[in-house]
Amino acid sequence: MNRYPRDMQGYGETPPDPQWPGGARIAVQIVLNYEEASENNILHGDAASEAFLSEIVGAAAWPGQRHWNMESIYEYGARAGFWRLHRLLRDVPLTVYGVATALARAPSQVAAMQDAGWEIASHGLKWIEYKDATPEDEAADMAEAIRLHTEVTGTPPRGWYTGRCSENTLRLAAETGQFAYVADSYADDLPYWMEFGDCDQLVVPYTLDANDMRFATPQGFNSGSQFLDYLKDSFTALYREGAEGQAKMMSIGLHCRLIGRPGRVEALRAFLEFARSHEGVWFATREQIADHWAKIHPAQRFTRPSEMLQADFVAAYGGIFEHSAWIAEGAHALELGRAHDTAIGLHNALARVFRSARKDLRLGVLTAHPDLAGKLAQAKRLTEHSSAEQAGAGLDALTDAERTQFTQMNDAYVAKHGFPFIIAVRDHDKAGILRAFGRRIDNAQDVEFQEACRQVERIAALRLQDLLP
């Protein structure tokens, strides 16, 4: 099957209400990445020095050599930056993304994290790139990270974030059965579920924009005031959405060696004061958010059209366009994905096939529709869809005079246009249908053909709304 693996649909226009504790308008989630002494370094068995996220502009890896300047920048994060942030944030619910080998080299910092009651999630075994790793090697590193994390902290991690991940990372993390959440996504402002075989894995998305890493990237933050302004604007937008009934989560990413510098930390302090000045703000760890979401919005599976075999797909949706299974067959052959597992998405796929078909085939769809309140209805030989639709508009309970009127109009319409009068009866009552009948019967044949096709598509959309989200 031609299937698109990415999810471009998400929650769509109406995201779920997270029902944050206390009716909070926003959940603020702060992450402190602890990576110091896990970066690329020949002392750690790596081929070269680190070149990422430091104060050194245009840093390059040094193959086979230690990079003293780079090492000392990371050491600053452990020796000074961490403690400055610990003093500021010790009373704030916070999640640490701890690289296992970094945690193993930081017993004092780990003890301080635990004394503060911070959640310590896993940030992998080493702070390395996995884009070219085999699934077997990545899984082995993941297992070792869990083992070492548990050994160092005393408890296994319930959250996972690789960061420089591969296309296999989320699946591998889900398959461990270990994690209440995985954070290797930037795709939403709310948690969401992903399915991997029989496993339902909760994803609590992270951020790269409200993140101090932009102090070390081109077109990033040049000063603490820029970072503060960005955090305040992000908070304000999300807080307003929460006040309007669409509460979200705000993630903030921090690094000891970056925001831990004195010229930047005051921006973080100012933001905390700003956020705390608002009512209805829930500061939470990612673990707390994950547990809350799993309770309020547990994983729910349904039969997804994009995953159905053709026979099952046609059996389920072959009657959406009246007696025209060929449209469902054509839609199944398209590039379907998660965006087509909704009523709007699947309707688009079916309508594409209908619109691109030859005119004689489209005419066949029109002529497959029954007359309104006609002989098939009286004989109870309508399809289940058509029967319910006509009954909903009261066409199954006409007076003799009304039935005669419908019959005469049906006959006149078919005689002129060559196909039955078609209208999405669920959009109208009986009187409205009769008015449309009288208004459209005098249209030119080509104009009415196009209108009938639009009505067929509208009928299909309404039918799908009864079947899919």
Q: Assess contact for 430 and 401: CB atoms under 8 A.
A: no
Q: For residues 293 and 2, what is the distance between their CA atoms, to the nearest angstrom?
A: 33
* CB contact at 8 A, 85 and 30: no
Residue 369, φ and ψ in degrees, nearest 5: -75, 140
Nearest to 59, CA basis, from 260, 220, 216, 255: 216
| Lookup: tokens for 283 | 């500061």
Query: Could you say which of 123, 149, 332, 369 is catalytic?
Result: 369
Count, residues in the chain:
469
SS (HEC) of 181-234: EECCCCCCCCCEEEEECCEEEEECCCCCCCEHHHHHCCCCCCCHHHHHHHHHHH
H-assigned helices in 246-383? 262-276, 286-296, 310-317, 325-332, 343-356, 359-368, 375-378
C-alpha to C-alpha distance for 329 and 350, rounded to whole angstroms: 9
Please indicate whether residue 369 is annotated as part of the active site: yes
CB of 289 closer than 8 Å to CB of 24: no
Look up residue 313 and give its two tokens: 């797909």
In the chain, how long is the greatest CA-to-CA distance? 96
Q: Is the Cβ–Cβ distance between 28 and 281 less than 8 Å?
A: yes
Q: Would you name the residues annotated as active-site residues? A: 369
